[in-house]
């Protein structure tokens, strides 16, 4: 297992979810929800290897049945936007066995939930083909249990009490003690036309002051249960990630597996590699059928980019060891760093073009969908109006003049509706779908938003790496003794053509028909500008000349048309 994955989600009614449905899906079972009267049947779903409910020692034993456990959760939550459960989805090491997974998950849920009074519903999935994506769905309750097996409150009412000029919040139990220390609850009083929260002792001093409410002043949301407050914090999510990382690494070490995982992000670990995006089952299924998936294609480019970055980084590390005052080594280090920056700049240019292309397509699609929605709404409104007029016309009886005027209005509406239907048909033609395909286009719009977010993140990572390389390049160049600067520059001029050809060859081998010599030249110009260096004059070479090697010549590729976003 060379990757780490732990996803934390909230099962909330406010998001339209049901914990009964989530539990039925995770356990591949059939459960009924009394709250909304729906039955959720996932018994035809395959791939669930293990399913078990874990309870604190003081929980009712019958809650071992997940139907009863989650019924109890649904019944205790009263509001329409209640948070019902915490759902964690964790990746399992494919090198380990089912028994190992069970032990790891039991340890995790006991340390992170059961010992805190939470109940846990644990399920292990290993969808077909076995071993390619083993993972676990863990459902934690949001409320802890007390020593009597009763659900604790998520929040307690907190009264804002006053003593002298000081105001402080107390729960009902805390107020019993605070009252003996001179603290008073505040109530709404009216004196004259003014209304204000006052303590009873303050109100007594104001003539004609009348209490207008029995409800004492309190904080808006009350005081959260410390455990539920922690349960919803970023610190808790990091604690879960850290705990799962430690459990995986300890288990792999016990089995003599050298692989280790790290729960930190690429940025936190100081890695310059771009993270890949989630592909999903359907995208991989298409790829297995020989169909190129839009989700998998960016990952291929990211992996190719990362491989090049790793290779160049290794070269820089080797050169830095022998740099000192060795002129060839200094020149080689500077050119390697420059090559690294050119490569990153090439990726940044492509990334920017991709962002522009996706943004253009997204805005175009959004405009068409918005216009489609408006036209559809107008058709609905005019159709309803037409029906009303037809009904009214039928009831006109002998009022022929009124019936005639209504007929004119109906005819006008009919023409308007036909015009709107034509507009709608044009919009659907632009969308290249029928009415039932508009939902797919809306989903495509969301996917474009996600793709843009990914491209922006990649752009940020690449820019940070380029700045780091630039700082290292300038540091080496500034440290060159004045008497050696000319010699270093001559050495750089001598090795650049070969290095450039090597970089072009590697780019072409990775990107083939997507490689653009114009983009490569632009990347070189931009890097020279940033480094405040004059470009080295060179003879114009064709792509085939760039790709030549001393022992082998790569076939010259066909001239490709420039893509729209590269123009």
Q: What is the pLDDT of residues 204-218, one digit of tens each?
A: 988 889 999 999 999
Domain that holds residue 211: 155-224
**Together in a domain, 484 and 558:** yes
Cα separation, 527 vs 523, in Å, equals 6
- Is 458 within the bounds of a domain? yes
Cα separation, 350 vs 565, in Å, equals 9
Band (pLDDT 50/70/90 cuts) for residue 545 is low
**Together in a domain, 365 and 393:** yes
Helix, strand, or coil (residue 270)? coil
The pLDDT of residue 133 is 81
**Which has the closest alpha carbon to 7: 250, 309, 237, 283?**
237
The H-or-E segment that residue 83 falls in is strand 83-91
**Together in a domain, 167 and 54:** no
* The two structure tokens encoding residue 413: 């509406």
C-alpha distances out from residue 27 to 20, 93, 516, Å = 11, 20, 51
* The two structure tokens encoding residue 288: 């297995």
**Together in a domain, 21 and 40:** yes
List beta partners, residue 53. Answer: 121
Q: 405: how many CB neighbours lie within 10 A of its CB?
A: 14
For 164-186, the pLDDT digits (tens) are 889 999 999 899 999 999 999 99
- Is 512 within the bounds of a domain? yes
Cα separation, 291 vs 283, in Å, equals 9
What length does the chain have? Answer: 567
Per-residue pLDDT averaged across 463-476, rounded?
89
Q: Which of 279-283, 309-313, 494-498 is the least confident region?
A: 279-283
The H-or-E segment that residue 385 falls in is helix 327-394
Helix, strand, or coil (residue 274)? coil
| 445 CB burial (10 A radius; 0-12, 13-18, 19+) | middle
**Together in a domain, 538 and 414:** yes
The pLDDT of residue 556 is 44
Q: Which of 20-24, 251-255, 405-409, 549-553 is the least confident region?
A: 549-553
Band (pLDDT 50/70/90 cuts) for residue 2 is low
- Is 317 within the bounds of a domain? no
Q: Which of 8-12, 25-29, 537-541 is the least confident region?
A: 537-541
Band (pLDDT 50/70/90 cuts) for residue 558 is very low
pLDDT at 42 over 80: yes
Helix, strand, or coil (residue 40)? strand
- Please give the torsion angle defined by the CA atoms of residues 168, 174, 176 and 178, in that order, rounded to the nearest 10 degrees: -40
**CB–CB of 278/314 below 8 Å?**
no
Is the torsion defined by CA of 52, 56, 62, 66 positive or negative?
A: negative
Task: Identify the DSSP state of 538.
Answer: -
**Together in a domain, 103 and 142:** yes
The mean pLDDT value of the chain amounts to: 83
Cα separation, 349 vs 527, in Å, equals 12
Question: Phi and psi dihedrals of 102, rounded to 5?
Answer: -60, -45
Q: Which one of 208, 238, 254 terminates a domain?
A: 254
- Please give the torsion angle defined by the CA atoms of residues 188, 192, 193 and 198, in that order, rounded to the nearest 10 degrees: -20
The H-or-E segment that residue 88 falls in is strand 83-91
Task: Identify the DSSP state of 218.
Answer: B
Band (pLDDT 50/70/90 cuts) for residue 540 is very low
The pLDDT of residue 400 is 79
Cα separation, 94 vs 133, in Å, equals 8
pTM above 0.95, yes or no: no
**Which has the closest alpha carbon to 309: 267, 349, 264, 339?**
339
- In the chain, the percentage of residues whose pLDDT exceeds 90 is 28
For 355-367, the pLDDT digits (tens) are 898 899 889 889 9
Strand order in the sheet with 194-198: 194-198, 187-191, 210-211
- Is 312 within the bounds of a domain? no
State the pairing for strand pair 210-211/187-191.
antiparallel
**Together in a domain, 123 and 186:** no
- Is 307 within the bounds of a domain? no
The pLDDT of residue 554 is 40
State the pairing for strand pair 120-125/48-54.
antiparallel
**Together in a domain, 102 and 184:** no
| Residue whose entry in the numeric block shows the structure tokens 């005052």 | 325
In CATH, what number is assigned to the domain containing residue 11?
3.30.930.30
Count: domains in the chain: 3
**Together in a domain, 143 and 161:** no
**Together in a domain, 244 and 160:** no
For 403-446, the pLDDT digits (tens) are 888 888 888 888 888 888 878 888 888 888 888 888 888 888 88
- Is 281 within the bounds of a domain? no
**Together in a domain, 201 and 247:** no
Q: Which of 228-237, 333-342, 394-403, 461-470 is the least confident region?
A: 394-403
Cα separation, 313 vs 298, in Å, equals 22
Q: Which of 1-5, 66-70, 394-398 is the least confident region?
A: 1-5
- Is 311 within the bounds of a domain? no
**Together in a domain, 160 and 79:** no
């Amino acid at each position: 297992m060379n990757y780490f994955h732990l996803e934390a989600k909230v099962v909330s009614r406010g998001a339209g979810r049901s914990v009964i449905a989530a539990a039925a899906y995770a356990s591949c079972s059939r459960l009924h929800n009394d709250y909304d009267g729906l039955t959720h049947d996932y018994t035809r779903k395959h791939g669930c290897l293990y399913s078990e409910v874990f309870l604190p020692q003081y929980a009712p034993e019958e809650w071992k049945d997940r139907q009863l456990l989650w019924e109890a959760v649904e019944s205790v939550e009263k509001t329409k936007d209640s948070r019902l459960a915490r759902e964690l989805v964790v990746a399992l090491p494919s090198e380990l066995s089912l028994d190992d997974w069970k032990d790891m998950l039991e340890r995790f849920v006991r340390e992170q939930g059961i010992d805190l009074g939470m109940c846990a519903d644990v399920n292990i999935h290993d969808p077909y083909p076995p071993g390619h994506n083993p993972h676990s769905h863990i459902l934690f309750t949001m409320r802890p249990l007390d020593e009597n097996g009763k659900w604790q409150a998520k929040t307690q009412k907190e009264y804002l009490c006053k003593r002298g000029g000081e105001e402080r919040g107390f729960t009902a139990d805390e107020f019993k003690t605070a009252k003996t220390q001179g603290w008073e609850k505040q109530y709404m009083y009216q004196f004259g036309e003014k209304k204000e929260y006052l303590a009873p002792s303050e109100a007594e001093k104001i003539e004609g002051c009348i209490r207008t409410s029995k409800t004492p002043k309190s904080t808006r949301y009350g005081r959260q249960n410390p455990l539920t407050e922690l349960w919803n914090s970023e610190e808790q999510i990091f604690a879960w990630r850290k705990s799962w990382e430690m459990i995986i690494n300890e288990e792999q070490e016990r089995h003599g597996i050298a692989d280790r995982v790290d729960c930190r992000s690429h940025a936190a670990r100081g890695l310059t590699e771009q993270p890949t995006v989630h592909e999903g089952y359907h995208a991989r299924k298409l790829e297995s059928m020989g169909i190129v998936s839009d989700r998998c294609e960016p990952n291929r480019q990211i992996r190719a980019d990362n491989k090049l970055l790793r290779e160049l980084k290794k070269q820089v590390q080797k050169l830095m060891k022998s740099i000192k005052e060795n002129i060839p080594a200094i020149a080689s280090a500077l050119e390697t760093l420059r090559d690294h920056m050119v490569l990153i700049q090439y990726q940044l240019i492509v990334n920017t073009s991709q962002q522009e292309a996706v943004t253009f397509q997204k805005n175009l699609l959004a405009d068409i969908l918005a216009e489609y929605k408006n036209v559809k709404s107008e058709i609905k409104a005019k159709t309803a109006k037409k029906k009303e007029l037809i009904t009214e016309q039928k009831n006109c009886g002998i009022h022929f003049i009124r019936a005639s005027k209504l007929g004119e209005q109906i005819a006008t509406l009919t023409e308007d509706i036909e015009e709107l239907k034509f507009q709608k048909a044009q919009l659907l033609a632009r969308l290249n779908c029928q009415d039932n395909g508009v939902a797919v286009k809306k989903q495509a719009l969301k996917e474009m938003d996600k793709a843009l977010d990914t491209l922006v993140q990649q752009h940020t990572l690449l820019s940070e790496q380029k700045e780091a390389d630039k700082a290292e390049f300038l540091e080496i160049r500034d440290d060159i003794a004045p008497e050696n600067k000319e010699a270093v520059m001559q050495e750089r001029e001598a090795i650049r053509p070969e290095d450039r050809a090597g970089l072009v060859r590697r780019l072409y081998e990775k990107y083939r028909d997507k490689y653009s010599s114009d983009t490569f030249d632009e990347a070189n110009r931009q890097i020279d500008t940033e480094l405040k260096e004059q470009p080295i004059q060179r003879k114009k070479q064709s792509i085939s000349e760039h790709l030549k090697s001393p022992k082998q010549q790569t076939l010259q590729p066909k001239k490709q048309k420039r893509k729209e976003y590269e123009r």
